[in-house]
Amino acid sequence: MASGLIHSLLGLLLLLPWALGASYGQQENIAGSGFLSAFSYEAIADPTHGRVNYVDAGTARSQNLTFASSDTFVLRADSKTTLSASGPGRNSVRIVSNRQYTTGVMIFNIRHMPQGCGTWPAVWTVGSNWPNNGEIDILEGVNDQGPNQGTLHTNSGCTMPASRSETGTPLQNNCDVAATGNSGCGVRFNDGNSYGPALNNVGGGWYAMERTNSAIKIWFWPRNSGSVPSQVRDGATSINTDTWGTPVANFPSTSCPISSKFGPHNIVINLTFCGDWAGAVYGNSGCPSSCVDFVNNNPSAFTNAFFDFAWLKTYA
C-alpha cells in the first residue's frame, strides 16, 4: 500500500507543473521612479522613419518629457516647439527595459496614452536581430484611429489559424514580415475604449500579455469595466491567467513554433510621429494638412501626447 501511495504522489508531482501552467508569481513591481531605473533611454534614429527626435535621459528630464512620482510615470513629447522643416523632428522619448523576458506575464496599468493627429504610440516587446527573434505589439495604433491592434512580427514559418479562441478580429494570419510588407499577423480589438481618446476618456485600463511556448495571448480591460479580474486590478502577487476569460488576441503555436520564433525580449515604450504607418495612412485619418507639416507647425496639438503609467508588473 505504501508503495502504491508513493507512486501516486510521484504521479501527482509530475503532473503539477502542467496543472499549474497558468499560475505565476510576481517578479517585478515597477512604479513611479522605478521606471527610470528599470528602463534606459534610446536616443536613436527612428527605425520607422518618423518625424521624431528621440532624446537622451538628460534632455528628457530637463525638458520634462519624462517625470515620476510615487505612483505615476509620464512619458511625453515636446508640445511647445514649432519645428523647422529642415531640422530634426519633434522631441520625444523611446525607452527600453534593462531586463529581458521570455515566457511569463506582463500587466500594464495605463491611465493615459498619447493622442493626436500624426501620433504613433506603442507598448511592445522585441528580440535582437529583428525579425528573427520576433516582435509582440501589445498597444499600438496611429492618428487616434482606434481600436487597438495586437500584432506579431516574425521571420518566415509562422502563421495563425483562421479560427481560434479570441474575442478580437484577425486581420492577417501570416506573421512573416517579408510576406506582409511588415504588417505581421494582427488582431483588431473589439472594444472601442482600447485606444486613443476613447481609452483616455474612461481613465485608461489594463493590458496584459502572456507568453508561453504554446501561445501568446493579450487581454484588455478598460478602467470602467465590471469584469476586470481582481488579480489584474489589484496587481496581485500571484495570478492565474486561466481565470481571466477569453483573450482579445490569441496566437497559438499550431503553425508557429513560438519557442524558436521568439527569443529573449526587451519591453519598448515609445512615441513617434508620421513615419511608415502613421504617415502612410494620414490622408485617410480625417486629420488636417499633411502629417509632417502638421507635426512641425502645431506643437500645442501634442499637449495630450503622453503616456501615464500607474505601474507595470511582471510574473514568471
Give the model confidence (pLDDT) of 252-286 as tens digits.
Answer: 999 999 999 999 999 999 999 999 999 999 999 99
SS3 204: coil
Q: What is the three-class DSSP state of 10?
A: helix
Distance of CA 181 to the CA centre of its chain: 20
pLDDT in tens, 96-119: 999 999 999 999 999 999 999 999
Q: CA 265, CA 175: separation in Å to the nearest integer? A: 17
Phi/psi at 208 (5° precision): -135, 140
- Give the three cell numbers for residue 95: 525607452
Residue 10 has a pLDDT of: 41
Q: Could you count the other beta carbons within 10 Å of the beta carbon of residue 66?
A: 22
Q: State how far the alpha carbon of 94 is from the alpha carbons of 39, 46, 106, in Å.
A: 10, 9, 19
Residue 177 DSSP SS3: helix
pLDDT tens for 160-198 read 999 999 999 999 999 999 999 999 999 999 999 999 999
| Under 8 Å between Cβ of 107 and 232 | yes
Which pLDDT score is estimated for 21? Answer: 54
Q: Give the β-pairing of 90-92 and 52-54.
A: parallel
- Alpha-carbon span 9 to 191, nearest angstrom: 45
Residue type, 139: L
Of 28, 42, 135, 166, the catalytic one is 135
Q: What is the pLDDT of residues 1-56, one digit of tens each?
A: 444 544 444 444 444 433 345 999 999 999 999 999 999 999 999 999 999 999 99
Tens of pLDDT, residue by residue over 199-229, are: 999 999 999 999 999 999 999 999 999 999 9
Query: Among residues 28, 42, 140, 210, which one is catalytic?
Result: 140
Q: What are the backbone dihedrals phi and psi of residue 51, each rounded to the nearest 5 degrees, phi first?
A: -85, 65
User: For residue 4, with 0-12 CB atoms within 10 Å meaning exposed, 13-18 middle and 19 or more buried, which class applies?
Assistant: exposed
Predicted TM-score (pTM) above 0.75: yes
**May I ask the CATH architecture of the domain 22-315?**
Sandwich (2.60)
Q: Are 31 and 310 contacting, i.e. CB atoms less than 8 angstroms apart? A: yes
Distance CA 95, CA 143 (A): 21
Does the active-site annotation cover 210?
no
Other C-beta atoms within 10 Å of 248: how many? 25
Is 140 in the active site? yes
Q: What is the DSSP secondary structure assignment for residue 117, as one 8-state letter?
A: T
